[in-house]
Amino acid sequence: MSRLPVSLTSFSLRRPFKALGVVAAACAVAAAVSACGGGSQASKFRPTRVVSFGDDSSFLTSAGKKYTVNAVTIDSNGNALDSSNNVTTSESSFVYVCGNNPIWVQSVAAAYGFDGEQCPVTGAARSAYFLANDPTTTVTDATGAFSAANAAIAKTNAGIASVIAKISQNTALLNNGTLVLILAGQADIFEAYARYKFNGVALASLETELKNLGASLADALTTYVKPSGARIALVRVPRLSLSPLVQGFSADDKAAIAALTVALNDGLTNRAEVDFDGRQLTLVRSDDLTQLMFDSGTRASYGISNSTAQGCAVPADSVRATAAPLCNTSHVAGGVNTRGSVDSTVSSVYLWSDATHFAPQAHARLASLVVSNVNRNPF
């Protein structure tokens, strides 16, 4: 398998990468996960606008903070700086550099020369609309343990039902020059798992429920997006059974998470394949990509050297962040780490930032796969 450029990890939105370069790098990934599309386009689709919907994996705050390792301004020793370039340990004074360590939707938009209001970049067209829902909490609590209550909150705020509502409210942004990015369902899977684990709901019943939920998202795309002529990159939910959180579960609970993820993805895919053809929708198999980034025999090809541990360090008081920004790149060796801080060099080769979210390297790989699909798909 061809090695993909590790430089994608440290990609800065102030130096947008060229879409064709991403395709050349990403097709090795796409071929491996059977998602590179069916041949070249007669006339290459170049979006005039990018609109993204989804959950925490695609969410930026109004200040560009994310559910991953967030870049902050630091000095040569790794100390965080405030806006006056003074060393600070107060997170409220940190200067976040939202163009560094971008999440996948930022990188896809940048590939076409766009950015959004959450992270303005000099010289880029302001034609990206990042409209993902904020779950307001991770599915783990401040101690890092799975929380059924947090999972329920996350589903309410950023589950598929709330994502569908957001799509229905923003159809005015959609036309035949729009590229729509969709990734949703993580909160729904963990909330269903909580009912299986703590409420005794039968797994088979929950699998049927999630399969129907996935289908409902595909139906929403048919209702609200398809008539506009917009092109869609539909991303399957990553393989959550490989996340650090679930790797710590019992074998039965790991199997339950795996089954629920497959059920939602299959419901989504099966309905989308009926309602769309390759001229308007491309399916992105992030679940297969996750497996390749996780496995010891293939992860190095994706710039990953640690696919099991969390990149975000445990704070000195053991109180982890449960909302964006998840953690940051300030780090002082031998000193007191700020909340969830992590050495930026080390974090660049991690698969996971925390218990359930991709680190920057994985976001870069997902972005390159999406752009490859879009550029090769016969839209």
Task: Please report, for the chain, the start and end positions of each structural domain, with discontinuous segments joined by +.
Answer: 6-376
Judged by DSSP in three states, 100 sits in strand
Q: Which residues contact 166 (CB under 8 A, 6 or more apart)?
A: 53, 131, 133
Q: Out of 3.10.20, 1.10.150, 3.40.50, 1.10.1760, which CATH number does the structure's domain 6-376 have?
A: 3.40.50
> Cα–Cα distance between 218 and 272 in angstroms, integer?
5
Tens digit of each residue's pLDDT, the chain (379 residues): 222 222 223 345 654 444 334 444 444 455 455 444 444 555 689 999 999 999 999 999 999 999 999 999 988 888 889 999 999 888 889 999 999 999 999 999 999 999 999 999 888 889 999 999 999 999 999 999 999 999 999 999 999 999 999 999 999 999 999 999 999 999 999 999 999 999 999 999 999 999 999 999 999 999 999 999 999 999 999 999 999 999 999 999 999 999 999 999 999 999 999 999 889 999 999 999 999 999 999 999 999 999 999 998 888 788 899 999 999 888 655 445 566 677 666 778 999 999 999 999 999 999 999 999 999 998 8
Nearest residue to 342 via CA among 358, 330, 333, 334: 330
Q: What pTM, to 2 d.p., does this model score?
A: 0.90
CA–centroid distance for 306 within its chain: 18
Of 268, 253, 361, which is closest to residue 54 (Cα–Cα)?
A: 268
Q: How many CB atoms lie within 10 A of CB 153?
A: 20
DSSP letter (8 states) at residue 144 = S
Pairing of strands 128-130, 49-54: parallel
User: In whole angstroms, what is the distance from residue 50 CA to residue 30 CA?
Assistant: 21
- Alpha-carbon distance of 351 to 310, in angstroms, equals 8
